[in-house]
Chain A
């Protein structure tokens, strides 16, 4: 049944957010620390467990894949609900304070990614170099 996959995902999100809130509570802040990330890890581990034991039907998997395919449309709706006017009218100080960290972030992707998976990034570099040729 399709709903089994959707239900599994929902359970992961609920459990993840509760764990995230508990972590937040333990360190003394009223915020969810990584709840969605924890939910993602739960889904990866649990769905792998079920699939390895052939306990997850194709329909149940489709229930998850449907939402995965809805991801971009949902993000478009999210973009359309942002306070874009505030960003444009932010004033110089808020603009610089928000913009510079993004520039710094883009500059740091390569050096930090090299820390984690040197082989992978070299492969990708080779591939893109070949693509360029």
Chain B
């Protein structure tokens, strides 16, 4: 009997994920109501997702959270890059171009400023912990930009796999920290308007962190933040291994 149930669920991975996520949403929004929406239901659901990911990672030792357990493989499909990007694009529907123009300039400035600051912080932390070669500093600096920029930089500059792994870890910490901290810090940090959301997207840059952070804060702000954030990793991949590396080489080489 159990075999039949588990076998069926494993044959219908995406459908199973839809069913379970629906239940998670329902429970989370019910808890949110109990707090009289002081904590948003979507924030609770995202934290529940992260807890599941932690459990999945501990149980399997894999890197894809709960989706490494075959019964929950559909989470990887549902929450994978393809459907995530598709859903992000859909949030742009109904956005006014005038708002985007207004938000765009500040968002663009934020993006450039943040790639510089993140690389500098990452490189400085690497230096403080004894990774004093320019290649290592640039790679870990790239990881502090996003968990994609780190390995791209490391591969381009020929960093060791240990340093590349550290840069990925730094990027993952950043992305999860953005998910958890955004709903808590949104109001004090002034994240209340489309322009502020565009700036926030440019400052944080991690698409997964920003998309989850804004979803848990105010879904109306999602398109503005996502718009700038989606340029961040590409820009980082462009700048950190080239300009970033050369600057660090000039200073420390």
Contact = CB atoms under 8 A, between A and B. Distances in A.
B105 A116 contact: yes
Given A43-B89, A97-B122, A112-B203, A79 B212 contact: yes
Binding site of B, secondary structure by majority: helix, strand, loop or mixed?
A: helix
Contacts of A27: 238
A108 B203 contact: yes
B252 interface: no
A101 B95 contact: no
Interface range on chain A: under 10, 10 to 19, 20 to 34, or 35 or more? Answer: 35 or more
Contacts of A91: 166, 169
B135 interface: no
Interface string B103-133: 1011101100110011001100110010100
A97 B90 contact: no
Contacts of B207: 36
Contacts of B110: 108, 112
For A82, A85, A100, the residue with the greatest tally of chain B CB atoms inside 10 Å of its CB is: A82
Given A76-B48, A78-B84, A81-B67, A121 B195 contact: yes
Interface residues of B, number: 117
B39 interface: no
A86 B65 CA distance: 10
A91 B193 CA distance: 36
B219 A98 contact: no
Contacts of B212: 75, 78-79
A76 B195 CA distance: 25
Interface string A68-93: 10111111111111111111101111
Most chain B C-beta atoms within 10 Å of own C-beta, residue among A40, A75, A116: A75
B185 A76 contact: no
Interface string A87-129: 1101111111111111011111110110111001101110010
Contacts of A79: 46-47, 49-50, 53, 79, 179, 208, 212
A64 B94 CA distance: 10
B31 interface: no
Contacts of A73: 18, 21-22, 25, 45, 78
Interface in B157-198: 166-179, 181, 185, 187, 189-196, 198
Contacts of A83: 53, 57, 63-65, 172
Contact of A81 (B53, B92, B196): B53
Nearest to A120: B193
A84 B87 contact: no
Contacts of B169: 86-87, 90-91, 94-95, 98
A37 B57 CA distance: 31
A71 B125 contact: no
A43 B93 contact: yes
A51 to B, nearest CB: 9
A1 interface: no
A111 B113 CA distance: 12
Interface in B195-212: 195-196, 198-200, 202-204, 207-208, 211-212
Given A36-B89, A68-B87, A93-B125, 10 more contacts: A17-B85, A75-B84, A80-B72, A94-B169, A98-B171, A101-B114, A107-B189, A112-B202, A116-B107, A117-B106
6 contacts: A39-B92, A79-B46, A80-B56, A90-B170, A94-B170, A120-B193
Q: Which 10 A-B pairs have the closest CB atoms?
A: A116-B106, A98-B173, A77-B79, A79-B49, A33-B234, A85-B57, A78-B79, A40-B92, A67-B90, A94-B169
